[in-house]
């Protein structure tokens, strides 16, 4: 929240060269613009300024959303346009169209309110926008274009809206509709701003002080220099930081799929970009709390009325941060154990283990972790390579593979596939027996022999086979994945 006159600032809050923590601005910089209650998200706001990606604020009426964004434009000395989406006519943005002298093109009569010379634009009450205008604003927010024409001077695209949700909710705003998901996904940061109950007592007094109304915002904190320095850092971000942000974003997106929260590929890329900007304004080193804040304020679901539970976010963040902060061997091991496709797991095991000991650990844990039929697939596929080149996976891995494969295979210098099954006629048949028999009839040669041995092994040991055809296909693909490594091991 906001609405009080700026406090007297220190000589400077711009940090590079003056502070050892590497921050762009000292904590509390928004207070010196007369904005209070936003301390928890001020790094997010600064990150959006250096990335120049679209920013959306969501909050109850009177929480200072408009004041904050207008104050930023004023402090930065930008040519600013402020439009109310519920009232705007499209001609207000572009001006009145008229044909060129030769009649071959359309020009627009510019006014002080048109957008053509704007360096920053605020679309207020975005959730009250008419559908046809929302579609037209899409290219403005996403591409810095209007009517198909570039807006080369436009740096910042900001929007604000009230929450959208069911009419029986505690806070309901008539006419505040969910944003189109494609439009919401174009905003980089989506910040839920604090209300009165989220303010500490000192901030409540500052917000409620009527003497602060209509005071101009001036750049007393070095905001312009900080943004300029942040832009330089952002363009020169290290490969290591890019890799950390990319790894975290990828793992988070995968983790969120489990409770049914989808992040689009575009959103995952945007999250990675957000984390880079946020890290650079906050000192330059990834931190758990920083990445959690970046994740929380990068989810577009709130703009269409869906709130992701904190427990879900905590779990996804914890898994991603744990993966990110492990050493190389731990990350590789985690990647192997999370891989569900047997062929890909075989390639990982054979094509890039950090050390033989790590490969051995990955093989042993895989065989324990996987259901018995899938463990059999992995063992059958890996055994020839493990035998021909024991150093690739290690002697302990070979022993573990052979232990699983022993009931299925007979090893006499080469793999021979047993072709019999011992089923007593008076026992209840396995529920997948008839399906397995039909599948085997459709196969030929070595593939049929391998499939028969695998499937009969599962039947004898009463392992469940939900989809025999899929299990056989996994075996065939895993064996094909291993073949190139067998070729490499031949003298």
pLDDT in tens, 119-177: 999 999 999 887 777 777 888 999 999 888 899 999 999 999 999 865 445 565 667 78
Residue that finishes a domain, picked among 270, 293, 325: 325
Average pLDDT, the chain: 85
Using CA atoms, how far apart are residues 357 and 402, in angstroms rounded to an integer? 18
- Residue 21 confidence (pLDDT): 62
Q: Is the pLDDT of residue 306 over 50?
A: yes
Least confident piece of the model among 161-165, 341-345, 370-374, 416-420: 416-420
Name the more confident of 108 and 229: 229
Residues 309 and 419 in one domain: no
Residue 426's pLDDT band (boundaries 50, 70, 90)? very low
314: domain CATH number? Answer: 1.10.150
Asked if 56 contacts 187 with a C-beta cutoff of 8 angstroms, the reply is yes
Residues 264 and 223 in one domain: no
Domain that holds residue 473: 329-489
Is 109 a member of any domain?
Answer: yes
Residue owning tokens 């324990």: 368
Is 16 a member of any domain?
Answer: no
pTM of the model: 0.69
Name the more confident of 20 and 311: 311
Residue that finishes a domain, picked among 213, 235, 257: 235
Is 208 a member of any domain?
Answer: yes
Residues 46 and 101 in one domain: yes
Beta-carbon contacts of 40 under 8 Å, excluding residues fewer than 6 positions away, are 194, 293
- Residue 351 confidence (pLDDT): 83
- Residue 420 confidence (pLDDT): 40
Residue 179 has phi, psi (to 5 degrees) of -75, 150
Q: What is the pLDDT of residues 3-58, one digit of tens each?
A: 554 444 443 465 554 344 688 998 999 988 889 999 999 999 999 999 999 999 99
Is 40 a member of any domain?
Answer: yes
Is 8 a member of any domain?
Answer: no
- Residue 257 confidence (pLDDT): 93
Residue 91's pLDDT band (boundaries 50, 70, 90)? confident
Cα 19 to Cα 77, 236, 265, 279, 432, distances in angstroms: 26, 20, 37, 16, 69
Residues 82 and 192 in one domain: yes
Using CA atoms, how far apart are residues 280 and 257, in angstroms rounded to an integer? 29
| Count of domains forming the chain | 3
- Residue 172 confidence (pLDDT): 59
Residue that finishes a domain, picked among 305, 325, 345: 325
Is 11 a member of any domain?
Answer: no
Residues 395 and 437 in one domain: yes
Q: What is the pLDDT of residues 205-248, one digit of tens each?
A: 988 887 765 555 666 678 999 999 999 999 999 888 999 999 99
Least confident piece of the model among 85-99, 266-280, 437-451: 85-99
Q: Tell me the residue ranges of DSSP E strands in 330-426.
A: 409-411, 415-417
- Residue 8 confidence (pLDDT): 44
Least confident piece of the model among 99-103, 437-441, 444-448, 478-482: 99-103
């Amino acid at each position: 929240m906001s609405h009080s006159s700026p406090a007297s600032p220190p000589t400077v809050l711009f940090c590079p060269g003056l502070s050892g923590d590497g921050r762009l601005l000292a904590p509390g910089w928004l207070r010196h613009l007369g904005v209070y209650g936003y301390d928890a998200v001020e790094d997010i706001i600064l990150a959006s300024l250096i990335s120049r990606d679209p920013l959306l604020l969501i909050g109850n009426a009177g929480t200072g959303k408009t004041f904050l964004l207008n104050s930023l434009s004023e402090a930065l000395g930008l040519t600013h346009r402020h439009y109310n989406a519920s009232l705007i006519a499209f001609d207000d943005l572009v001006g009145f169209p008229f044909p060129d002298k030769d009649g071959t093109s359309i020009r627009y009569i510019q006014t002080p309110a048109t957008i053509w010379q704007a360096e920053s634009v605020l679309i207020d009450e975005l959730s009250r926008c008419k559908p046809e205008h929302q579609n037209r604003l899409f290219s403005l927010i996403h591409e810095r274009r209007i009517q198909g024409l570039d807006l080369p001077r436009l740096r910042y695209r900001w929007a604000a809206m009230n929450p959208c949700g069911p009419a029986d909710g505690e806070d309901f705003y008539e006419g505040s509709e969910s944003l189109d998901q494609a439009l919401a996904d174009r905003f980089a940061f989506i910040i839920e701003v604090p209300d009165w109950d989220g303010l500490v007592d000192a901030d409540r007094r500052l917000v409620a002080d009527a003497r602060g109304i209509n005071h101009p915002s001036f750049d007393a904190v070095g905001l312009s220099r900080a943004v300029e320095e942040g832009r330089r850092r952002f363009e020169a971000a290290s490969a290591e930081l890019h890799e950390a942000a990319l790894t975290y974003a990828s793992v988070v997106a995968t983790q969120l799929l489990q409770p049914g929260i989808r992040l689009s590929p575009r959103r995952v890329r945007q999250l990675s970009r957000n984390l880079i900007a946020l890290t650079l304004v906050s000192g330059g080193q990834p931190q758990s709390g920083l990445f959690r804040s970046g994740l929380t304020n990068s989810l577009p679901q709130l703009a269409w009325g869906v709130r992701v539970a904190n427990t879900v976010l905590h779990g996804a963040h914890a898994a991603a941060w744990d993966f990110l902060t492990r050493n190389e061997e731990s990350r590789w091991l985690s990647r192997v154990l999370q891989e569900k496709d047997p062929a890909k797991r075989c390639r990982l095991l054979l094509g890039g283990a950090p050390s033989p000991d790590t490969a051995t650990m990955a093989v042993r844990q895989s065989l324990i972790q996987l259901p018995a039929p899938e463990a059999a697939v992995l063992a059958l596929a890996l055994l020839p390579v493990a035998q021909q080149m024991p150093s690739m996976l290690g002697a302990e891995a070979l022993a573990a593979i052979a232990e699983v494969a022993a009931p299925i295979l007979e090893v006499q210098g080469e793999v021979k596939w047993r072709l019999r099954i011992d089923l007593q006629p008076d026992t209840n048949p396995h529920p997948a027996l008839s399906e397995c028999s039909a599948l085997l009839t459709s196969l030929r040669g070595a593939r049929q022999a391998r499939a028969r041995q695998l499937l009969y092994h599962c039947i004898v040991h009463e392992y469940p086979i939900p989809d025999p055809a899929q299990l056989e296909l996994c075996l065939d693909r895993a064996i094909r994945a291993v073949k190139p490594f067998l070729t490499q091991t031949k003298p």
